[in-house]
């Protein structure tokens, strides 16, 4: 396997891991009934996790 193939494989694994982490975060927030707090355009925004579709 050449270096480009290895890099692409690692990239796919990283992206899958990030997607799984996102799903788990949303599920955790739903179970605790707490808002997800994010920054949008430099402002702090609270998002109800029930409004997010996975």
pLDDT tens readout for residues 39-50: 999 999 999 999
Encode burial over 28-51: b for 16+ CB neighbours within 10 A, e otherwise.
ebeeeeeebeeeeeeeeeeeebee
Q: How confident is the model at residue 4 (pLDDT cuts 50, 70, 90)?
A: very high
For residue 41, what is the DSSP state?
T
Name the pTM for this structure.
Answer: 0.80
Indicate the domain borders of the chain: 3-51
CA nearest 48: which of 17, 15, 26, 23?
Answer: 26
């Amino acid at each position: 396997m050449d270096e480009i193939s290895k890099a692409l494989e690692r990239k796919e694994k990283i992206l899958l891991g990030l997607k799984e982490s996102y799903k788990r975060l949303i599920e955790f927030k739903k179970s605790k009934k707490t808002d997800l707090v994010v920054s949008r355009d430099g402002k702090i925004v609270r998002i109800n996790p029930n409004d997010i579709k996975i």
